[in-house]
Amino acid sequence: MSTGRRYQTVELSTIDTSLLLGGILFAQSYFTGSDTTEKEIRALADSIYYRVDWQWAQAGAPGVTMGWHPESGFLSARWIGYNEGMILNVLAIASPTHPVDSTATWNAWVGGYQWRTYYGQSFVQFAPLFGHEYSHVWIDFRGIKDGYMQGRGIDYFENSRRATLSQRGYAIANPGGWRGYTSNVWGLTACDGPANKTLTIGGRSRQFQTYAARGAALGDERDDGTLCPTAVGGAVPFAPEFTVPALLAMRTIYGNKLFSTYGFLDAFNPTFTAAGQQEVGTVDPTLGWFDVDYLGIDQGPILAMVENYRSDFVWRVMRTNAHIIRGLKRAGFTGGWLP
């Protein structure tokens, strides 16, 4: 925070760059005044966005790489197949200075999709709910469709709604027999967890994790009983009839162990009642494990998506951004609010 240098030896992340740009371009479109300060904000936003070299980040192939290490070069994984990287591809295609090829890049992205039916919902699969939420924080996908979604007869907003409903269905069925799961207590995504341990709880061997990308999709169920409020909070606009009651229920049931100074703590696990065995957080022998941290990348989607549900605020501002419009059009999106 004080130097701007990377943390330890983590990769320089293309998706974190893209989410940062989402905020920068929001500021660009929000500050529309003619005074010197607001003009400067808009100019600085362009200055930052124009300097992102998406062509370099492709490293010679259609899909943008997930990141780069100064010590070892590019990561082998690429942004292909449905996940949180949709905004990345829109921004890479839209770039006025270093654009990637729109047809090749979007075709590569869509080429990795897995359309399947899971707990009664047919949609493009991705197990953790954050993959169905992050791009939607910034871009209003209601009523606009690319070629793939035109073929499916839905839009990406409906796809995320179905993913949300399928996760709720998974929690109701609760195939793992985890404690506390109900129609109003659910939500799997990337979040903190109690411990990297295998413990016997209630006469059953259980394997737990600390931070992990939990989720539920066909053939990809990653569940150790740890629930994350941002999974539900970030999905509020998709299925408010289920997500809002779930948030209220979790706050009511678990009180200030889960909801405190800055809103929801990051995660909780009702099954993990082994006090003293946790590696992080606290354990109540009756209610289970609770995190002690608030994570900004999880708090942010709750706030932004609740406000999108209330007033379309972020979506309304971003619908005016020329870069977002350009990227969506180059990716083949038509209809709805697009001019």
Query: Do 93 and 127 have their domain in common?
Result: no
Beta pairing, strands 197-201 & 12-13: unpaired
Query: Do 9 and 150 have their domain in common?
Result: no
Query: Do 121 and 259 have their domain in common?
Result: yes
pLDDT single digits (tens) 105-138: 999 999 999 999 999 999 999 999 999 999 999 9
Query: Do 190 and 298 have their domain in common?
Result: yes
pLDDT single digits (tens) 261-275: 999 999 999 999 999
Amino acid type, 117: T
Q: Tell me, what's the pLDDT at 174?
A: 98
Q: Tally Cβ neighbours within 10 Å of residue 219.
A: 9
Question: Which token pair is 150?
Answer: 């035109």
Q: Tell me, what's the pLDDT at 4?
A: 86
Residue 338 lies in a domain: no
Whether 1 shows a pLDDT value over 90: the answer reads no
**Number of domain units in the chain:** 2
Rounded distance between C-alpha atoms, residue 264 and residue 21, angstroms: 26
Query: Do 83 and 155 have their domain in common?
Result: no
Q: Tell me, what's the pLDDT at 6?
A: 87
Query: Do 126 and 211 have their domain in common?
Result: yes
Residue 218 lies in a domain: yes
Query: Do 187 and 63 have their domain in common?
Result: no
pLDDT single digits (tens) 209-233: 999 999 999 999 999 999 999 999 9
Question: Which token pair is 28?
Answer: 């660009």
Residue 146 lies in a domain: yes
- Identify whether the C-beta of residue 169 lies closer than 8 Å to the C-beta of residue 120: yes
Query: Do 127 and 104 have their domain in common?
Result: no
Q: Tell me, what's the pLDDT at 39?
A: 98
Can you give the pTM of this predicted structure? 0.97
238: domain CATH number is 1.50.10.140
Residue 286 pLDDT class (50, 70, 90 cuts): very high
Residue 321 lies in a domain: no
> Domain limits at 109?
1-113
Query: Do 123 and 172 have their domain in common?
Result: yes
Residue 204 pLDDT class (50, 70, 90 cuts): very high
Residue 233 lies in a domain: yes
pLDDT single digits (tens) 43-95: 999 999 999 999 999 999 889 999 999 999 999 999 999 999 999 999 999 99
